[in-house]
Amino acid sequence: MESRQDGRVWEAVGRLELSGRAFCTGALIEPRLVLTAAHCLFDPETGERVRAEDIQFLAGWRNGRAAAYRHVRKAEPHPEYDFAAASDASRVRVDIALLELQHPIQDGAIIPFETDARPETGASVGVVSYAHDRSEAPTLQELCSVLSRQQGVLVLSCSVDFGSSGSPVFSFESGSPRIVSVVSAKAEANGEPVSLGTSLAGPLAELRKIMDAPQGLRLNGTSSLRAGSRNTTTGAKFVKP
Distance CA 95, CA 89 (A): 10
- pLDDT at 143 (0 to 100): 87
Q: Which residues contact 168 (CB under 8 A, 6 or more apart)?
A: 13, 25, 27, 35, 113, 127, 128, 179, 181, 182, 183
Per-residue pLDDT of the chain (241 residues; tens, 9 = 90+): 333 444 558 999 999 999 877 889 999 999 999 999 999 999 988 889 999 999 999 999 888 899 999 999 999 999 999 998 887 888 999 999 999 999 999 988 899 999 998 899 999 999 998 765 556 667 787 789 999 998 889 999 988 876 688 999 999 988 889 999 999 988 888 888 899 999 898 899 999 999 887 753 343 332 222 222 233 344 444 444 3
Q: Domain segments of the chain: what residues?
A: 2-240
- pLDDT at 166 (0 to 100): 92
- pLDDT at 133 (0 to 100): 57
pTM given for the model:
0.84
Tell me which residue of 14, 119, 31 sits closest to 69, measured CA to CA.
14
Say how far residue 43 (Cα) sits from the centre of its chain: 16
The C-alpha torsion from 160 through 70 and 214 to 212, rounded to 10°, is -60
Half-sphere exposure of 178 (CA within 13 A, CB side): 14
Q: How far is CA 175 from CA 19, 170, 172, 178, 197, in A?
A: 37, 11, 5, 9, 22
- pLDDT at 53 (0 to 100): 95
Distance CA 16, CA 30 (A): 16
- pLDDT at 181 (0 to 100): 95
- pLDDT at 222 (0 to 100): 25
* CATH superfamily for domain 2-240: Trypsin-like serine proteases (2.40.10.10)
- 3-state secondary structure string across the chain: CHHHHCHHHHCCEEEEEECCCEEEEEEEEECCEEEECHHHHECCCCCCECCHHHEEEEECCECCECCEEEEEEEEEECCCCCCCCCCCHHHHHCCCEEEEECCCCCECCECCCCECCCCCCCCEEEEEECCHHHCCCCEECCCEEEEEEECCEEEECCCCCCCCCCCEEEECCCCCCEEEEEEEEEEEECCEEEEEEECCHHHHHHHHHHHHCCCCCCCCCCCCCCCCCCECCCCCEEEEC
